Amino acid sequence: MTAELNETHDPALRSWVTSADQPDCDFPIQNLPFGTFSTAGRREARIGVAIGNKILDLQQAGLVDTDDMNALMAFEPQKMTALRALISQGLAQSSARQPDWEAALVDQSAATLHVPCRIGDYTDFYTSVHHATTVGKQFRPDNPLLPNYKWVPIGYHGRASSIIPSGQAFKRPHGQTRPPGTAAPVLGPSMRLDYELELGWFMGQGNALGQPVNMADAERHIFGVALFNDWSARDIQGWEYQPLGPFLSKNFASTISPWMVTMEALAPFRTAFSRPEGDPEPLAYLDARRNREAGAFSITLEVLLQTERMRSESMPEVRLSKTNMASAAYWTPAQLVAHHTVNGCNLRPGDLLGSGTLSGPTSSEAGSLMELTAGGKVPIALPNGEKRSFLEDNDTLILRGWCEAPGAVRIGLGEARGTVVG
């Protein structure tokens, strides 16, 4: 595995971009996440790095000769490490590059932030055993967790074309549902619209068709991570998911945050990976000493909701749940890559691996309304007197994430925000 601690993680580092040094800033100089953006004066998308409340235009700063993010993501890990070091040095206090690079800075508030890269393929996994068990109980009370779950990372191929950037609204999906007590289905809008709290792992270097990626090399193929909300129509899903799994219930929209936090930036927040006592150990191709020692990541995640009425009354969003990837995920990112390629499947730069809903072990850590409301039977009471079993039109759902550890500077993943409209 790659991405050990180096000078770019130094907690004493400060930037001449003063907003990056503010407490609880998502994008201090120790983070330096990558994304694509455009401005009113230059509408073509280009590569940027977030620093404080600014964006550093990498091509204007003379750091890259391309505006193709996927081409940059295909760089060798050593080349990406060198690029990160150059960016860190140039943005650090007292850097000689400050006079030149100030002209390459753009206010985030003045930029349009896009999906971070071209997503060629998207696979959604099912990595939270807590989510799988809770939802399984609603569908299969006597057998909530299928026998393969603890042996194989479960996943399905999703739809990349409907992945949208944070801040974009989407239409409530229509599809077939079968109302309770009826024999025939009907076509209409989903009335059980849900969110899913996920992380999206972006592939960097690809692998050739027929060449599996082993665990020792798996993280070399991961570029970084973003927040991911795989919106789900639970009533459509319940009717269609057997025998082949989700289809129209998932592919109408998924929201991604605009910044990819690199594996190198995550280095201070690694943690040990282990299975609960009594669970089977992973098969050999899914196991490695380094993965056991530091293959998981401590990433705090929260879900917030703001209804149309809350906005009209100038009320802030309310938190629905909060959890941490380290306690929620049963499989590590490296294991997802190793399993995805063990049959010879070729992954490419920009491919996205969704974690699946990340729910922790307690009810307050649930990553979906399906869990929080017991399938809609126990509505959530909001501070203004409203209730929610599932999402209603003009509801805005926000995912946020950040990393903290002793001796390290806090870094953030930003937010993934989306609004459902009728």
Binding residues for substrate: 126, 140, 237, 241, 357
Q: What is the pLDDT of residue 41?
A: 81
CA atoms of 189 and 92, how far apart (whole Å): 52
Catalytic residue among 114, 131, 221, 340: 131
Q: What is the pLDDT of residue 4?
A: 84
Q: What is the pLDDT of residue 161?
A: 97
Q: Which of 84, 113, 142 is the last residue of a domain?
A: 113
Judge whether 406 lies within some domain. Answer: yes
Residue spans of the chain under pLDDT 70: 1-3
| CATH number, residue 19 | 2.30.30.230
372, 137 contact by CB (below 8 A)? no
Beta-strand runs (E) in 151-233: 155-157, 163-165, 169-171, 174-177, 186-189, 193-194, 197-203, 222-229, 232-233
Instruction: Clarify whether residues 94 and 234 are in a common domain.
Output: no
Instruction: Clarify whether residues 106 and 138 are in a common domain.
Output: no
Closest CA to 257 of 353, 184, 164: 164
Instruction: Clarify whether residues 34 and 156 are in a common domain.
Output: no
Q: Is residue 131 among the annotated active site residues?
A: yes
Q: Which of 78, 113, 148 is the last residue of a domain?
A: 113
390 CB-side CA count, 13 A: 16
Which phi and psi angles does 89 have, rounded to 5°? -65, -40
Q: What is the pLDDT of residue 7?
A: 97
CA atoms of 355 and 344, how far apart (whole Å): 21
Q: What is the pLDDT of residue 2?
A: 45
Both ends of the chain: CA-CA distance in Å?
46
Binding residues for Mg(2+): 230, 250, 254
Say which DSSP state 403 is in.
Answer: E
Judge whether 224 lies within some domain. Answer: yes
CA atoms of 235 and 177, how far apart (whole Å): 6
Please name the residue that has the structure tokens 């979906």.
368
Binding residues: 124, 126, 140, 196, 198, 230, 237, 241, 250, 254, 357
46, 59 contact by CB (below 8 A)? yes
pLDDT digits (tens, 9 = 90+) for 274-309: 999 999 999 999 999 999 999 999 999 999 999 999
**Number of domains comprising the chain:** 2
Q: What is the pLDDT of residue 69?
A: 98
Binding residues for Ca(2+): 124, 196, 198, 230
Judge whether 91 lies within some domain. Answer: yes
Look at strands 169-171 and 411-421 and give their pairing. parallel
Which phi and psi angles does 156 have, rounded to 5°? -145, 160
Closest CA to 91 of 121, 35, 133, 49: 49
Please name the residue that has the structure tokens 């299928």.
146
Q: Is the dihedral of CA 333, 336, 342, 348 positive or negative?
A: negative
Which residue range(s) make up the domain with 44?
7-113
155, 340 contact by CB (below 8 A)? yes
Instruction: Clarify whether residues 408 and 333 are in a common domain.
Output: yes
Instruction: Clarify whether residues 346 and 392 are in a common domain.
Output: yes
Q: What is the pLDDT of residue 138?
A: 83
**Element containing residue 304 per DSSP (H, E):** strand 300-306
Instruction: Clarify whether residues 199 and 304 are in a common domain.
Output: yes
Instruction: Clarify whether residues 20 and 98 are in a common domain.
Output: yes
253 CB-side CA count, 13 A: 23
CA atoms of 80 and 263, how far apart (whole Å): 10
Q: What is the pLDDT of residue 3?
A: 55
Instruction: Clarify whether residues 79 and 209 are in a common domain.
Output: no
Q: What is the pLDDT of residue 141?
A: 81
Please name the residue that has the structure tokens 């760089």.
75
Judge whether 360 lies within some domain. Answer: yes
Number of neighbouring beta carbons within 10 Å of residue 10: 15
Instruction: Clarify whether residues 200 and 101 are in a common domain.
Output: no
Instruction: Clarify whether residues 343 and 209 are in a common domain.
Output: yes
Instruction: Clarify whether residues 88 and 219 are in a common domain.
Output: no
Judge whether 276 lies within some domain. Answer: no
Q: Which of 113, 131, 162 is the last residue of a domain?
A: 113
273, 295 contact by CB (below 8 A)? yes
CA atoms of 365 and 361, how far apart (whole Å): 7
